[in-house]
Structure 1
């Protein structure tokens, strides 16, 4: 009887304790619910048009859950019923109030006219755990960003592009040899292949030789260290996808979970490679007018400043290596994707492909078959084809900024644009550039692939102010000239001896990978590659 009473007392105590725990949890979740409800009333309280959020995720549920690719999701927000006819609308990135900008004039004001109020990206890496990822030109904040930008700009002038051209053309020749070595069906003189990977091998070798002065030989050794490192950066497993989404939408998680732009193995490889090449270049005194020479110049200038008692940040941690690292990662992936999307569109539009090859044939014949910088720059139809590809498939389908008002100011007023609201400090701003480029108000028949829309006589039907695949203003992509050059040169050497047709694996429409923030085709891009020399 005593035992029963004891057990009964213990059970009663456990039930009481469990009840207390459940009550505490219920109170916690109720308090959390009330707090979120208050957070999600921000735009209503400020009387700003907004899109109704989803609990926890805000207005990014489709992206965070990988239910939708970023292009489709930002198009959904841009064209939302609550957003129509408004220059900007309120959204929530998780529980953080943010702005989605739709009006072209406001976009240009943010990116160009009043850039000083929006000079930083919202996206960020953690400087404490990922110096290689945070100190580069893409993620760096002002005033460091401005200093890096000014010093790197000379690397990407047209003069430097001409100097780099022979190096890139040498890799393009190897790309042609790689393609010509592929086995083809003797009956059709063709083979079905996924083109993104060969294009990535080409662009990886281009970046290695122009930025690092190294022959990576990825085309001959697809499993080499450069290609393996590049693959790791942009292979969007669920974890890698969450890392990238944290970089762009919720940087606070980057610090908590110590996410990195480059994996530990890739960081060691890139850091050691860059430092070794710099030391070797200094030892030999060789000059190549490439990125490494510029970084050496950075270092020497910083060493002088150090002797003068200054503290140049460029000598801190991985600041020098970080510039070469981001050039490597951004340079090969975006251009190889652009080349692949071009091949897809040419397979779907054989008449355009024929016109493109005919332009190449005429140019090469008039130049005795020699490929020069001037020849590439003179291919007007190719230029329009690549521009149209970038209109439909910009590598990054949105631009992000954060408000950084001047000292003593509360923020940035939107009254001029019909919105009675002052954007406060640190509020994220998102510009859905791909959605803007697919808006029929900006481009006639936007779903139609039409390179001729970039002809001078057709520009009245297309608003070129809405075209910004590389961004625009002071924070635009510094490597635009380089990207266009390596893309066009790669396409020229591809089409010199081959063309593409659609096959059973070629989709009617590209389906983008919902995990990838930097856009990628889901499952790659398969086409039939036909061997057919231009002459």
Structure 2
């Protein structure tokens, strides 16, 4: 009887405690619901048109749940009936009020004219736990960003690109050898190939030799450490997808969950490699006029400032290595994707491919078969093809900024753009660049792949102010020239001996990876590669 009474008593206590816990949990959930409901009235309270949010996700449900790719989702927001004919429309990034910018004049003001109000990206990594990810040019905030940008700019001038050209061309020749070594069907002289991986091997080798002065030899050793590290950065597993979405949309979650731009293994490899190359370069006194030389100059100038009593941030943690790390990761992935998308579009548009190869044949012949910097710069149709690829598939389908007014200012007024609202401090704004590229108001027949739209005589039919695959203004992509040369050289050497056609596994329209923030095709790009030397 005693044991029974004890058990009954314990049961009563447990039930009582459970009831209390459930009641507390219910109260917390109810309070959270009420708080979110209030948060979601921000735009209504400010009398600004807005797109109705979903609970918890705000206006990001399709992206966060990986229901659709970012291009499609930002097109949906851009073309929403609540947004039509407006310079900007209110949205919510989870519970945070944000703005989707639609008007070209307002976009130009934010990115160029009034850049001082929007000099920082909203996206960021955690500076305390991820120095390699947060101190690089992409994620760094002012004033650090400005200092890095000014000092790195000399690496990417046209003069420096011309100096780097022989290094890139050497890798492109190896890429050609790799392709020519592919086993072809005896009857059709062709093979089925997933083209993204060979393109990534090529761009990995280019970045390694131009930025680090190291021959990664990925084309000969696809499982080498450079390719393995690069692949891991942009393989969008469920967790990796959540990390990137946190970087771009909810930076507060980055710190909470310890998300990092580079994995632990990649961080160790990139840091050790960069530091080793810098030490060897200093020891031997070699000068290559590449990124490593600029970083060494960074370091030497900072050491002089240190002697003067200053505290240059570039000597802190991984600030030097961070610049080389982001150049490596961004440089190989975006260009290899652009090359792959170009090949897909060539397969779908054989007349465009024929014209491109004819331009290359004529250029080869007129230059005695020599591939030079001047030859590449003179390929007008190639330039238009790559531009049209980037219009359809910009590496990042949106641009993000955050309002950072001076301490004595309330924010950035939108009255000049038809909205009675002042963008407050720390409010994110998003510019759906790919959606702008697909707007028939700016580009005639936007869904059609038409390189001729970039011809001078056709520019009246297309508003090039809406074209921004590399961004515009002071925060545009610093490596645009490099990316274009790397991409064009790779395509030139591909088409020198091959062309592509669709195969059974080639879709009529590409499906983009819904997990990837950086544009990727879903499942790769399978094409029939036909061997056919130009001469």
Bucket of the pairwise TM-score, normalised by the shorter protein = over 0.9
Whole-angstrom distance in 2 between the partners of 1:260 and 1:11: 46
- In structure 2, the partner of 1:331 is 331
Structure 1 counterpart SS, 2:172: helix
Equivalent residues in 2 for 1:259-274, closer than 5 Å? 259-274=259-274
- In structure 1, the partner of 2:146 is 146
Equivalent residues in 2 for 1:72-83, closer than 5 Å? 72-83=72-83
Unaligned runs of 5+ in 2: none
The answer to whether structure 1 residue 499 and structure 2 residue 496 are counterparts is: no
- In structure 2, the partner of 1:392 is 392
Output one character per residue of 1:274-323: Cα deviation in whole Å (capped at 9) or x when no partner. 11111111111111110011111111111111111111111111111100
Whole-angstrom distance in 1 between the partners of 2:156 and 2:16: 71
- In structure 2, the partner of 1:54 is 54
Q: Tell me how far 1:3 sits from its aligned partner.
A: 5.8
Equivalent residues in 2 for 1:63-74, closer than 5 Å? 63-74=63-74
Equivalent residues in 2 for 1:89-238, closer than 5 Å? 89-238=89-238
Whole-angstrom distance in 2 between the partners of 1:107 and 1:137: 22
Whole-angstrom distance in 2 between the partners of 1:159 and 1:5: 90
Whole-angstrom distance in 2 between the partners of 1:7 and 1:194: 67
Q: Tell me how far 1:11 sits from its aligned partner.
A: 3.7
The answer to whether structure 1 residue 479 and structure 2 residue 483 are counterparts is: no
- In structure 1, the partner of 2:348 is 348
Whole-angstrom distance in 1 between the partners of 2:493 and 2:19: 73
- In structure 1, the partner of 2:467 is 467
Structure 1 counterpart SS, 2:528: strand
- In structure 2, the partner of 1:444 is 444
- In structure 2, the partner of 1:431 is 431
Structure 2 counterpart SS, 1:242: helix
Whole-angstrom distance in 2 between the partners of 1:376 and 1:369: 12
Output one character per residue of 1:232-252: Cα deviation in whole Å (capped at 9) or x when no partner. 100000000000000000011
> TM-score of the superposition, structure 1-length normalised?
0.99
- In structure 1, the partner of 2:277 is 277
Whole-angstrom distance in 2 between the partners of 1:9 and 1:371: 89
- In structure 2, the partner of 1:377 is 377
Structure 2 counterpart SS, 1:499: strand
- In structure 2, the partner of 1:513 is 513
Equivalent residues in 2 for 1:236-275, closer than 5 Å? 236-275=236-275
Whole-angstrom distance in 2 between the partners of 1:18 and 1:259: 34
Whole-angstrom distance in 1 between the partners of 2:464 and 2:21: 61
Q: Tell me how far 1:257 sits from its aligned partner.
A: 1.0
- In structure 1, the partner of 2:364 is 364
Output one character per residue of 1:41-86: Cα deviation in whole Å (capped at 9) or x when no partner. 1111111110000000100011001001000000000001111111
Q: Tell me how far 1:7 sits from its aligned partner.
A: 4.6
How many residue pairs align between the two structures?
535
Pairwise CA RMSD: 1.0
- In structure 2, the partner of 1:410 is 410
> TM-score of the superposition, structure 2-length normalised?
0.99
Q: Tell me how far 1:406 sits from its aligned partner.
A: 1.3
- In structure 1, the partner of 2:289 is 289
In structure 2, the CA distance between the partners of 1:17 and 1:487, relative to structure 1 (3 Å rule), is same
Whole-angstrom distance in 1 between the partners of 2:207 and 2:259: 25
